[in-house]
Structure 1
Amino acid sequence: MNAEDIIGGALKDRRSHDLAQSKLVMELLAYKANDRDHEINAELLGQLVLKYAEAERKLTELNQLKNKFLGMAAHDLRNPLSSIRGFSEILLLEETGPLTEGQKEFLAIINKTSDEMLHMVNDLLDVSVIESGKIDLNLKLYSAQKLLEERIRLLHIVADKKQIIINVDRADVPDFSFDTNRIGQVIDNLISNAIKFSPIGSKIDISLKQVGGKVEIAVQDDGPGISPEDRKKLFGTFQKLSARPTAGEKSTGLGLAIVKKIVEAHGGDVWVESADGAGSIFKFNIPMEAR
């Protein structure tokens, strides 16, 4: 090995050593910077958490105020609307005297509109009560088959107006404890929606059966189906879907949200099986043993 090789090797080793030292210094500086960044990030994170907590508190207060206002407004509106609907029905029966065709027409409009408004008010009341977390279930031993028959009987008039046939398949299910008014409300809503979105002259299939320790009710229609986008927001409050009722019926966008809350309060589940353009099947179940 000559002197040139020795000197070259030494210089190479020196450069390698300097490079290693420089790399170490850079790593230390980066670590210090990262450490400082971590301190800053932790401080910022703490500030963000506090801001988020405050924003959440304000939103909770606003939501409570909204529910209180909705409840008060709906309650104050319900009595006069009930009176308008009731008296218009009496007048239409001509118990107070004969009516002209024009009077009958106007009274029918008043009656129909007040009925729609009353349904909307009742929905608002339900939403305000349910969202406030004050939903109380009045559990009592009853027959699910009997309740289903009662509710279908009431809705047959609406179905007949659209020439819709309702088919029912009921299995024998033992009586169990549930809130008959609330579950009746769920059944009403699902069947009413099926009628609302079904074509004239179509059919609706309703089934009741026991699946394990739960009772399951399904309502199937021949409507337009539900798109994937609509399914994502289906059970939210004040949600309007792209599908429209087939006879111009009104919708508040609250019914399915109420259905979900009632079913979940019973410890059950509600879901939909649907494809765009191929009808829908709404199903819900509730446990037969009280929670």
Structure 2
Amino acid sequence: MNQNLAESRIARRVQILVLIGGLVAFIFFGATIVFSYFGTLREQEARILDHDFPRLVRSTYDRVETFFDPLTRSLDLLVSHGEWQDVLDEAWDNPQAFRERAVEWASILGVSDITVVDIPREVVYTYWSGEPVRMDPSLDRDAWFYQTWKGPTPPERSIAFYYDDTMGGRAFFYDFLLRDPRGEPLGILGALVELEELAYRVQRDLSRGEFVYLVDNEDQIILEISTDTLREFLPVYTTTGFEEQAAPSESLMIPPSYIEMARELDRPIITSDGDYAVGVFSLFPLDVTARVFLNTRDRVEYVRTVAFRQMTALLITFALVIGGYLILMVVYTNHSASQLFLIQRNRAQLDELISILTHSLGNDLQSLRCSLAGHPLPYQEQLDPILLDMEQVLQNAIYSAQQSDGKAAIFPQPLDIAALQDRLILSCRSSLQGKQQKLILPREVPSDNQHPLETDEDLVFHVLLNLLSNAIKYSPIHTRVIFAYRSIATGLEFLVADEGPGFTGEDRDRLFRKYSRLSARPTRGERSTGVGLFVSARLTERLGGELVLLEELPLWLADSLEGTERLEQPGAIWLFGLPRDQHGKTPS
């Protein structure tokens, strides 16, 4: 009876402990969810200005710039043609032949029409019809000509936006002044460009709640673009003149006061009421600005609603299962412990098997690459980088498994740097050739000490191969990659630099995390596993060295580079240092 009473007391204590544990767990879990809820809201608010809105402004600018920039450059080249007096005389003598020539120009430039105006003769060629059109000062249609181009100081270039009912679409004329050798106004070269393509380009990058307005130098709205709307507020051009069309303030998606306020901005802001993020950029050399808006209130409200629903569902779910889960956890503690032991043993066996298989496959791939090197195949240039990449992935997997198993011993031996360099060049040769990149090996690098260094050559090779492979993988074609080294009193320093995009501030916080995906992407569709830098950092620790990302090339290397060897736009610059007194380390 005493034994039963003792067991009953123990059972009650277990029940009380389970109840207390369940309540504590529920309170802790609930507090964590609530904290996460508010953290998510703060993160979203910060993300709008730090990520979402800059992405919107950048994509809009890229779309608009790639639309206007080629046209501007092409027209500049065409205007620089020095025989415009002959061209105008030809147009006067044979308008039809000139029209054929202008149609060819328009096709090359990718515009709807090329127009030439003879200022002294007051004649327009190729627009409206196949016949020349003589300007008439009594017509509203031609008032722009006499006001803009017949004055004492005509502009070097001009742009006019409107809706053309003869072509049935939004368009603009981009006009350049032509001068004779004495500098006197001779004529006007104009390109007619339709705006639909620009509007659709911008619209494709927009999400719900994002808006873009194109506004001219007189603060008149040209286009309103969002995911659902594409509206123009342009004067309508007819054969008799312009019909002004004002932007109705009631129909705008964004309040007109915000659109006008954006004109004065020099950086993105959030409006005082918190409703919109606002930014603006100019479209040089056009007298046009793009004013970009993001509806922050709706976006934050949507995140708040989703987060609240998730929080409520998690709390309810946890409340339903926590009691039963804790009871089962107590009942099956011993059973779980034995199962955990079996799992750990099976996992160790599986890791061992994977290590053996990956090591075997790595050797097979290496043998295959060596065989291909001796017997070239038609597709070896494409096949060799793939085999090298597979071999690296397998070797990274082996080293990663060794880190978790504690198998971290090194096998030091005198390091033959010349042989190591030849080995790296041979491994990377096909990848460099495939992307038409050049490997720079500085011939003269100052050294403070020439004594050989003892270390594990295989680990050093793998770290450098990872760094070189990344430099090749993330750099564009026709760029240069630098591999250099120097011996100093305390050890040996290797440097790998490229002309890729480098790393952002956010990337630097996640450089050596396992499976971490960074902002840069391979430039030719190569595979990225997110393990290379992680393994390189761990191997560096095993070797007792250091792996550092530099901001610029060190002086000892920069001074030794010749003019053709210097990087135009340095990207990632890695310094891999090894000490002379090394001891194998086992990471904790």
Tell me which interval the TM-score lies in, with the shorter structure as reference length. Answer: 0.5 to 0.7
- SS of structure 2 residue aligned to 1:160: helix
Q: 1:114 to 1:288 in 2, by over 3 A?
A: closer
Rounded to whole Å, the distance in 1 between the matches of 2:372 and 2:430 is 21
Determine if the alignment matches structure 1 residue 159 to structure 2 residue 432: yes
Check whether the contact 1:71–1:125 (CA below 8 A) recurs between aligned residues. Answer: no
2:417 to 144, 159, 162: 144
Match of 1:209 among 458, 472, 486: 486
Equivalent residue, structure 2, for 1:285: 577
Q: In terms of Rg, which structure is larger? A: 2
Separation of aligned partners in 1, 2:351 and 2:486? 37
**SS of match in other structure, 2:518:** coil
1:75: which partner in 2?
356
Alpha-carbon distance in structure 2 between the residues aligned to 1:92 and 1:217: 27
Q: CA deviation at 1:288?
A: 1.7
Q: 1:74 to 1:119 in 2, by over 3 A?
A: farther
Query: Is the partner of 1:166 in helix, strand or coil?
Result: strand
Aligned to 1:184: 461
Q: Which shows bigger deviation, 279-288 or 65-74?
A: 65-74
Task: Quote the Cα distance in structure 1 between the aligned partners of 2:425 and 2:381.
Answer: 24
1:208, 1:137 → 2: CA distance?
22
- CA separation of 1:202 and 1:110: change in aligned 2, threshold 3 A: closer
> What residue is the counterpart of 1:230 in the other structure?
507
Match of 1:242 in 2: 519
Which segment drifts farther, 175-184 or 251-260?
A: 251-260
Q: 1:198-241, CA deviations, whole angstroms, 9 ceiling, x for partnerless residues?
A: 11000011221134412111101000110111111111211111
Alpha carbons of structure 1 residues 88 and 258: separation in structure 2 relative to 1, 3 Å: closer
In structure 2, what is the Cα distance between the partners aligned to 1:75 and 1:150? Answer: 24
- For the Cα contact (< 8 Å) 2:471–2:497, is it kept in 1? yes
Displacement, 1:108?
Answer: 9.7
Q: Which of 382, 389, 395 is the matching residue for 1:122?
A: 395
Structure 1 CA distance for aligned equivalents of residues 391 and 359 of structure 2: 6
Deviates more, 1:166-175 or 1:224-233: 166-175
Cα deviation per residue 1:72-92 (whole Å; 9 max; x = unaligned)?
Answer: 235335546866896799799
Q: Report how many residues are paired.
A: 226
Structure 1 CA distance for aligned equivalents of residues 582 and 366 of structure 2: 38
Q: CA deviation at 1:280?
A: 1.0
Q: Give the match for residue 451 of structure 2.
A: 174
Q: TM-score when scaled to structure 1?
A: 0.63
CA distance in 1, matches of 2:466, 2:546: 15
Per-residue deviation, residues 144-171 of structure 1 (Å, max 9, x unmatched): 3442233123312221211111111245
CA contact (8 A) 1:214 1:288 kept: yes
Sequence identity, in percent?
Answer: 23
CA contact (8 A) 2:381 2:430 kept: no
Alignment partners' CA distance in 2, 1:247 and 1:233 = 23
Question: Residues of 1 paired with 2:381 and 2:484: CA distance?
Answer: 35
Contact 2:415/2:454 (<8 A) preserved: yes
Aligned to 2:547: 270
Helix, strand or coil: the match of 2:451?
coil
Query: Which amino acid in the other structure matches residue 577 of structure 2?
Result: N
Contact 1:238 1:253 in 2 (8 A): yes
Residue 260 in 1 paired to residue 537 in 2? yes
Native 8 Å contact 1:85 1:110 kept in 2? no
The question of whether the paired residues in 2 share the 8 Å contact of 1:171 and 1:209 is answered with yes
Secondary structure in structure 2 of the residue aligned to 1:233:
coil
* Structure 2 equivalent of residue 198 of structure 1: 475
How big is each residue's C-alpha offset from its partner over 1:28-80, in whole Å with a ceiling of 9 and x where there is no partner? xxxxxxxxxxxxxxxx9xxxxxxxxxxxxxxxx99997676444235335546
Structure 1 unmatched ranges of 5 or more: 1-43, 45-60
| Mapped partners of 2:533, 2:550: distance in 1 | 14
Q: Distance in 2 between matches of 1:283 and 1:132?
A: 28
Q: Which amino acid aligns with 2:430?
A: I
Shift of the alpha carbon at 1:248?
A: 1.1
In structure 1, C-alpha distance between the alignment counterparts of 2:494 and 2:507, rounded to whole Å: 22
**Distance verdict in 2 for CA 1:139–1:64, change over 3 Å:** farther
Shift of 1:136: 1.6
2:483–2:494: 8 Å Cα contact kept in structure 1? yes
Contact 2:497 2:570 in 1 (8 A): no
The whole-number CA distance in structure 1 between the counterparts of 2:526 and 2:551 is 21
